[in-house]
Chain A
Amino acid sequence: GIQVEQSPPDLILQEGANSTLRCNFSDSVNNLQWFHQNPWGQLINLFYIPSGTKQNGRLSATTVATERYSLLYISSSQTTDSGVYFCAVERGTGNQFYFGTGTSLTVIP
């Protein structure tokens, strides 16, 4: 399978601060997605981003496929951003997704 490493494992921010989460993967992929798992356990897709840059409000993501990493930027963090952020990758079109171990984010008021 593909190894997916996320850093940092834990992050504590003051409300209003910015942060960058990183996802490294061990092989070429054709699909990369970022997810947010809220404190109640629900997983929500944030971005589909196999390459390039996308923005959605205060969140943006960049994937550099040739260097096998992706970054998730959170600006002006809010307490509702707390939770765990996962990246997941798929190689080929076999529907096998590999998840990283996540970054646990806590935003304090």
Chain B
Amino acid sequence: NAGVTQTPKFQVLKTGQSMTLQCAQDMNHNSMYWYRQDPGMGLRLIYYSASEGTTDKGEVPNGYNVSRLNKREFSLRLESAAPSQTSVYFCASSGTDKNIQYFGAGTRLSVL
């Protein structure tokens, strides 16, 4: 039982490049989330998906797009990376039981 799996673990991009962060969960959860974590700022919600086929903006959605590919997978895309998007990105999922969140191991992204 892998839980929440994120790929890649590390990535370095040049300004203007694009990339997609992948996330998959095997807990049959309805809800999935993407957060970014910056030093001294805790975690901030980028986008979330309450169920398959729906996505909604969180606190800091600008510069990102998401796709809920199916119930298991939720991807985050940076179309034109900027240095301000240098961060650690976490994917999480939760079921209907109290919305307890389970996190992946994170993706450390540097944009030069």
Residues on A lying within 8 angstroms of B by beta carbon are 1, 4, 31, 33, 35, 41-45, 48, 86, 88, 90, 94-102
Contact = CB atoms under 8 A, between A and B. Distances in A.
B53 interface: no
Interface of B: 31, 33, 35, 40-45, 48, 50, 56, 58-59, 88, 90, 92, 94, 98-103, 105-106
B68 to A, nearest CB: 13
Majority SS of interface residues in chain A? strand
A44 B48 CA distance: 19
B82 to A, nearest CB: 23
Contacts of B43: 86, 88, 99
Contact of A99 (B40, B44, B56, B105): B44
A47 B94 CA distance: 14
Contacts of A98: 45, 59
B101 A97 contact: yes
Contacts, number: 56
B103 A42 contact: yes
Contact of A96 (B58, B90, B94): B58
Given A1-B59, A101-B42, A41 B106 contact: yes
A95 B99 contact: yes
A48 B33 contact: no
Contacts of B35: 99
B42 A95 contact: no
A16 to B, nearest CB: 29
B50 A33 contact: no
Given A1-B59, A41-B105, A42-B105, A33 B100 contact: yes
A97 B50 CA distance: 12
A74 to B, nearest CB: 19
B42 A43 contact: no
Given A42-B105, A45-B100, A48-B98, A102 B48 contact: no
A24 B102 CA distance: 23
A90 B58 contact: no
B59 A86 contact: no
Given A95-B33, A99-B43, A43 B48 contact: no
